[in-house]
Structure formats: structure tokens, C-alpha cells
Amino acid sequence: MTLFARIPKVDKILEWDGTKVLLGVHPRPTVLNAVRSVLDAFRTAARNGSLREEELLEAAVTSRIEREVARSTAFSLRRVVNGTGVVIHTNLGRSPLSKRVKPILDEIAFGYSNLEFDLDRGERGSRYSHVERLICELTGAEAALVVNNNAAAVLLALSALAAGKEVIVSRGELVEIGGSFRIPDVMGQGGAILREVGTTNRTHPRDYRQAVTPETALLLKVHSSNFAVVGFTAEVSAAELVAIGKEHSVPVMADIGSGCLLDLSPFGIRGEPTVQEFVKAGVDVITFSGDKLLGGPQAGIIVGRREFIAPLTKHPLLRALRIDKLTLAALEGTLRLFRDERQALAEIPTLRMLTASAAELATRARSFARRIRRASPPDIRLTLTSGISQVGGGAYPLLELPTTLMAVEADGISPQEMEIRLRGMEIPVTGRIHRGRFLLDVRTLQDDDIPFIAAALSSLAG
Ligand SMILES: *Cc1c(COP(=O)(O)O)cnc(C)c1O
């Protein structure tokens, strides 16, 4: 009898004790799907000659079905341990929220709220009103509006202020952010006509001045975010652009990307302009993300002069780009922390991680390493070494933050294999490989990640 013929039939498998146990816990279709997918895998393996006889024993088949059921019933979106050292990691959910927003999130998520109900007047209200005053207070702007993300903010602003008209942008600022957000494409979607000026490395005030026509709706400045132009360069500052805009009665818009509300230069993080600086410079419309340097939920925040924000609130696109109530709750909770700078730095994880000093990280690394060593088998070796972490999220592409790394080594397991196995855990542990070692950067590890790392390393040895 060939191996193919010995693959057990579905009916037979359903009579096994192990399968009956699964059927007692999971819905029948879940178990049946798992059985069929395991049998499919057997048939494929049998066809290409890689199936081994012992794989078809009842115990082996049952445990494979169990694993398949576990895989198919696990959450797809899960917590992940970020040991990469990239603080605003777009693939890993960008900014973790402050624990301080938990109570309000809980209340809004599981109950009714005044999302669109004006409690004073007892009539329909606006969801956008909840954070507008707070954003204005923090940024010094006259008006504010929040949408789904910064890409939406830019699209909405261009659609409402420049559809069918020209928008002047420097060639050095025609950026692509990850996930196919490209300024020229967004411009097209917004119905605006792109007027490129200057060159990739140098753009001067006269370039803007010469390009202004009666068809010009906006002068747009875009933060380069995820790349840097170095060497022989020149760009026109926000203040200069505002002056040019005034000369020609054309409003100025800036997409500043990361939405930094605090001056981080005392922590060695220089060069990222704050939202307040753009407001002060007189820029009419400013857009930024809620989940980059702001450290809040995914959101797009638009601030500026009331006369230019008002058309956005009336534009039909706003309904399609509107912010959700959970996001609003998390955003209000995060923004409130910025009323006290020290509180923001201490309570917002993104800012806390970014501003952690090398000495603080070294101390934390020793404590983490002690806890992990205590909980993991002796054949896992953990050594501390100094290294560099990155901001991520399209902010400060050249900045290198000194940190402490935990190098993990285990006999007989290559760093590549270790990376794959740690990534395959129920709570996946991510890190990076450098010079033949698997590394976990302490900067992005949370206190409550440590038990998961210890468990993952233990199962590695087992
Ligand atoms: C990140 C970024 C965006 C996109 O913001 P999202 O919130 O991810 O939609 C747009 N413009 C700039 C300059 C950025 O840095």
C-alpha cells in the first residue's frame, strides 16, 4: 500500500479521541477545516515524496490538527514585542498609546457617548468639536479639525482649497511616504494641479515668486520626513513662504508629517520643527499625524486659520475621512497630557522611549537581562552591548540614538533561525540581526514584555 493510500479518511479521524476532545471545545466547521487542511498537506507531501510514515500515526496527526485549530482560531491582529529599537515602527503599529488613556477608552468604547450630541443645547452636535479647543490651546492655532490620518488631512485640504487650481511645491519636497502616499499622486486625487519649482537640492524664494499666477491656490511645503538632502542645498523656510504668500494673497499650507508638539532638542533630538513654530510663522493650514511624534492614535490633525479650515469642515470628503469615536477618545486623552510638558514626556510611551538617556537604558538593560536570565535556561546566552536605535516613522532619518542591546545566542541555532522562531511565537518577539547576532534593543522594550521574552527564549531551548 502506498503512503498516499494510508492517509486516514476524514470520517475515521473524527472518531479518534483527540479529535473528539477538539470537537467538544471548538465548533465542528473549525475542526473539520483543520482536518481537511492537514489532509491536504499530507497529500501534497505524498505526491512529492516528502511524506514520512510516522507522520501518519494517530498521535502525530492529532497533534497536527490541534496546532492547525490553534492557528486558525488565534487572533490575526496581536500584540508583538518590539525589540527592533525603531521607536515609531510603522509595521508594528507606530505609537503605543499611553496607559493614561485607558479609562476614557473603556468608557467610550463600551457605552454611549455625546459623540455627536451637544449636551448644552440638547441638539445634534459635531464630533470634531471635542478636541478642537484643546488642539488650539496647545498649538496656538485659530481652528482645528481631525480626520482619519495625515494622508486624509492632506487630501481633504487640497480638495477643499485647491481643486481645479495650481499648487506650488518645491521639487525637493515631492516625497513618497511608505504605503504609496506620494505628494504628486495625492495632488492629482485632490484635483489640484501640481506646479513644481526649484530643483531636488535647491529651491529659492524667487522660484515660488516666478511661479505664482492667478491660477495659484496654495503654496505647499512638505516635510521631507524620511529622507535628508545634505550638501549643496537650499530650501525656503515657512516664514519666507508666508511672506511670499502675503505678497500675492495666496495661502500657505504645510504638511509637517510627524506632529511634534515639544522641543526635543534638550534630549539631543534636533531639527524637527514643532507645530507651534509653523503656527507662529503664520502658515495658514498645517497638517500632521496623530501617531508619530505626538504619540497618540492614528489620526490626521489639521490646524490653521479659521477662514481656511472652515471650507474643509463643509467638504463632502470629510464624511468619508471622518475620525472614529475610539480614536477621538484616545486622541483627547493623549493631547491632554501635553498640557504639562513633563507629564507628556513621562506618560507618552513614544516620547519616553525617544528621550531615554543612554545611562537610563544601560541600567534598564541590566535589570531586564537579570530577569530574563533568571527565567530562561542556561544554554541561552544573553550579553549586553552598546548600539544605536532609530526614531522611525519618517522622522529624523539620520539621527542615531545611543542605546543598549541584548545579544541573544543559543548553541546550534543560527541568528536567522532564531529570528524566525521568535517571530513565530504566540506573542512574537522581533529584533534585528547585526554581525551574526540576534539583538533586542532595550529602548523599545516595555516592562511587561520581559515575561514574554523569557518564555520565548525558554521554548527556543526546549
Ligand atoms: C507620515 C507622513 C504622511 C502620512 O501620514 P499618515 O498619518 O501616515 O497618513 C504624510 N506626509 C508626511 C510629510 C509624513 O511624514
pLDDT given at position 462: 62
Task: Please state which of the four CATH numbers 1.10.3720.10, 3.60.20.10, 3.40.640.10, 3.30.70.980 is assigned to the domain occupying 98-346.
Answer: 3.40.640.10
Atom of ligand 1 nearest to the CA of 179: 8
Instruction: Quote the DSSP letter at residue 98.
Output: P
Residue 231: what pLDDT?
86
H-state helical runs in 127-231: 129-139, 150-162, 183-189, 205-211
Q: Tell me the best of 289, 291, 294, 391 to mutate to test the pocket of ligand 1, counting ligand atoms within 8 Å of each CB and taking the most.
A: 289
Quick: pLDDT tens for 142-156: 999 999 999 999 999
Question: What is the chain's Cα-based Rg?
Answer: 27
The pLDDT of residue 67 is: 93
Residue to probe by mutation, ligand 1, list 255, 283, 391, most atoms within 8 Å of CB? 255
Q: What are phi and psi of 112, to 5 degrees?
A: -85, 160
* 296 C-beta closer than 6 A to ligand 1: no
Can you spell out the DSSP letters for 267-317? Answer: GT--SPPPHHHHHHTT-SEEEEESSSTT-SSS-EEEEE-HHHHHHHHH-TH
Cα 404-406-411 angle, rounded to 5 deg: 155
Q: Which residues of the chain have pLDDT under 70?
A: 1, 394, 462
Is 157 near ligand 1, meaning CB less than 6 Å away?
A: no
Average pLDDT of the chain? 95
C-alpha of residue 183 to centroid of ligand 1, in Å: 10
| CA contacts within 13 A on the Cβ side of 18 | 15
DSSP class of residue 78? -
Residue 116 DSSP SS3: coil
pLDDT tens-digit series, residues 340-357: 999 999 999 999 999 999
User: For residue 10, what pLDDT is reported?
Assistant: 96
> From the CA of 127, how far away is ligand 1's center (Å)?
23
Residue nearest to atom 14 of ligand 1 (CA): 257
Would the CB of 176 count as within 6 Å of ligand 1? Answer: no
Q: How far does the centroid of ligand 1 lie from the alpha carbon of residue 391, in Å?
A: 15
* 255 within ligand 1 shell (Cβ under 6 A): yes
Structure confidence at residue 407 (pLDDT): 97
Q: Would you say the CB of residue 16 lies under 6 angstroms from ligand 1?
A: no
Whether pTM exceeds 0.85: yes
Place of cell 496623530: 290
Q: What is the pLDDT of residue 65?
A: 97
235 CA → ligand 1 middle, Å: 20
User: Does ligand 1 lie within 6 Å of residue 151's CB atom?
Assistant: yes
pLDDT of residue 421: 96
Backbone angles phi, psi at 418, to 5 degrees: -60, -45
The answer to whether 81-90+353-461 and 98-346 have equal CATH topology is no
Q: Is the distance from the beta carbon of residue 149 to the nearest atom of ligand 1 less than 6 Å?
A: yes
Q: Is the distance from the beta carbon of residue 222 to the nearest atom of ligand 1 less than 6 Å?
A: yes
Helix (H, G, I), strand (E, B) or coil at 365: helix
The domain locations on the chain are 3-73, 81-90+353-461, 98-346
CA of 148 to the centre of ligand 1 (A): 11
**Which pLDDT belongs to residue 178?**
75
Cell of 209: 515668486
Q: Which fold has domain 81-90+353-461?
A: Aspartate Aminotransferase, domain 1 (3.90.1150)
Would the CB of 225 count as within 6 Å of ligand 1? yes
State whether residue 237 is helix, strand or coil. coil
Residue 250, phi then psi, degrees to nearest 5: -120, 130
Residue (of 293, 289, 296, 288) closest to 334 by Cα position = 296
**Plot region of 123 (φ>0 → left; ψ -120 to 50 → alpha; else → beta):** beta
